[in-house]
Amino acid sequence: MMKPAFEIRMVKENLDLAMALLQAVQEEKVTAKQLFRDGPEDMFVAFAVDNDGPDQLELTRRAANQARAAFALAVIQTQRSLDRVFTNPPLEEENPDLQAARCVMFLLNNTVLPSLFAPVWDCPPEYRRRFEVRPINLLMDAGELHGKALSWDHVGGLPQFLDLLVYFANWAEDLTEIKQPASAGIDKPEVGWEPVSGEDVEQEIIIASPAPARMIDGSVARFVDVQCDVGGKNLVLAKDLYAGFQAWCQDTGQDDVSQRSFGMQLTAMGFQRRRRGRGKHWWDGIRLLAVSEPVAEAALLERSSVLANGHYEGYQPELPT
């Protein structure tokens, strides 16, 4: 069985190609004449039709359908991959950005699966709220989408959806894989959370959802435990924190990890990275013990407007049903 991260990247590549073909057809860089030749006997079998084949307008329609099909495949397969990655329902996800991302994909799958080419939003009442995935600047308001025809604009456009696929692939790649015990029962958290047909559930590989620090990554968790002060109004430059981690690994013989993986591990622990003064990246809620106070340069920008759920003031976690 392919790993979930690879599956998600595969459907993204397929969608990339479908959109490139559609654009090429729309710009007439690929024409009906090129594909269908002059008569039925010269047509490629895959494009065989009656008479002399489609004109450019018909080719554009078919390319658009191909793009829609690639989008539907990306949604359905990504949700199936995520079902193998996370053991908890989307709304129970602790990380606010990951929760929002998982809810967006869950709703897309719930909408696309019944009708691939004419999907209509199907949003359960508990999901009719705003979802913001800040690392990729995706904002979807599902408060009034139920019953409306699906549009890419509802998730910020196709580029935002592609960024969402990359976001999920990175999460799936960095989380730790664990085997589901053969004797363990399989809980079904909610309607629609079914094992993929034909898969052997007892031998399925499950990737754990973000867990307490000590269960996420040995070296990163130990570094946070012994070298960092966590909580309160602590603040540290991202580059300084990673440099401190590398130095600690070298001094103690611990296993180093890449900066991207280090950041993903911190995010999974519940820490948040923000861009503050002068465009620098900072980690909130953590600092190196060697630094007595947060650097004044950050000045705790907009901290007073940050709510307990990690979103800025004005973010509505739930809208009326």
| C-alpha span between 131 and 175 (Å, rounded) | 22
Average of per-residue pLDDT values in the chain = 75
pLDDT of residue 177: 43
pLDDT of residue 36: 67
| C-alpha span between 52 and 171 (Å, rounded) | 49
Q: Per-residue pLDDT tens for 47-105?
A: 544 455 567 888 888 888 899 899 999 999 999 999 988 888 999 998 999 999 999 99
Q: Name the residue among 222, 267, 274, 228 with its Cα closest to residue 249.
A: 222
Average the pLDDT over 273-295 and give the result: 71
Strands 272-275 and 228-237, bridge-based pairing: unpaired
CATH code of the region 213-305: 1.10.10.10
pLDDT of residue 150: 92
Q: Is the pLDDT of residue 249 over 50?
A: yes
pLDDT of residue 271: 83
- For residue 244, give the amino acid letter: G
For the chain, percent of residues with pLDDT exceeding 70 = 69
DSSP of 97-135: HHHHHHHHHHHHHHHHTT-SSS-B----GGG-SEEEEGG
Most confident of 161-170, 212-221, 230-239, 309-318: 161-170
Q: Is the alpha carbon torsion for 94, 96, 100, 101 positive or negative?
A: negative
pLDDT of residue 47: 54
pTM score: 0.55
Q: Is the pLDDT of residue 200 over 50?
A: no
Number of Cβ within 10 Å of residue 4's Cβ equals 26
State the greatest distance between any 2 C-alpha atoms of the chain, in Å, as a whole number.
80
| Residue 241 binned pLDDT confidence (cut-offs 50, 70, 90) | very high
**What are the residues whose beta carbons fall under 8 Å from the beta carbon of 253, sequence distance 6 or more?**
none
pLDDT of residue 115: 86
pLDDT of residue 207: 33
pLDDT of residue 33: 74
| C-alpha span between 160 and 137 (Å, rounded) | 8
pLDDT of residue 261: 80
Q: Is the alpha carbon torsion for 32, 33, 35, 41 positive or negative?
A: positive
| C-alpha span between 159 and 113 (Å, rounded) | 21
pLDDT of residue 259: 84
Domain spans of the chain? 4-177, 213-305
